[in-house]
């Protein structure tokens, strides 16, 4: 779910306690929250600053790759692998929609927890 009245209702339910507390900054700390920044910003209002974990992750990754001398401009063939612990078909459908057909051949993986 990435839009519509149901998403707005769910977002209001989750965010209303934060609004009541008068937060002025909200960190979008989960990987999928930046995809919901529009509705989160709408519900929270213009006085609340949203900090995107995606932006911070990209900045940190760039620094790490630069410091390790792993960035280069040599052309090469890229490979991509898409894994999910959720439903592979749903992941692929959403990925194709959000990334302009970029996501395909998603594989579902299983995780185990240590006891």
- R_g of the chain, CA atoms, integer Å: 18
Could you say which DSSP state residue 100 is in? T
Predicted pLDDT of residue 113 = 63
33 neighbors 40 (Cβ within 8 angstroms) = yes
CATH of domain 1-74: 3.40.50.1860
pLDDT at 1: 64
- For residues 67 and 42, the answer to whether their CB atoms sit within 8 Å is no
- pLDDT computed for residue 12 by the predictor: 96
Which residue in the block uniquely carries the two structure tokens 């792993």? 70
- Claim: this prediction has a pTM higher than 0.95: no
The pLDDT of residue 35 is 81
Helices (H), the chain: 5-21, 37-44, 53-67, 88-98
Q: pLDDT per position in the chain (115 positions), as tens? A: 667 899 999 999 999 999 999 999 999 887 778 788 999 999 999 999 999 888 888 889 999 999 999 888 888 888 889 999 989 999 999 888 878 778 989 999 987 765 5
Give the domain ranges of the chain.
1-74, 77-115
The DSSP 8-state label assigned to residue 33 in this structure reads G
């Amino acid at each position: 779910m990435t839009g519509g009245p149901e998403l707005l209702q769910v977002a209001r339910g989750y965010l209303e306690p934060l609004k009541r507390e008068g937060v002025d900054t909200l960190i979008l700390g989960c990987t999928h929250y930046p995809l919901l920044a529009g509705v989160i910003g709408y519900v929270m209002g213009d006085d609340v600053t949203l900090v995107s974990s995606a932006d911070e992750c990209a900045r940190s990754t760039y620094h790490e790759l630069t410091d390790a001398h792993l960035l280069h401009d040599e052309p090469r063939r890229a490979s991509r692998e898409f894994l999910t612990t959720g439903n592979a078909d749903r992941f692929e459908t959403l990925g194709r929609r959000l990334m302009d057909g970029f996501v395909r051949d998603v594989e579902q993986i299983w995780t185990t927890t240590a006891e």
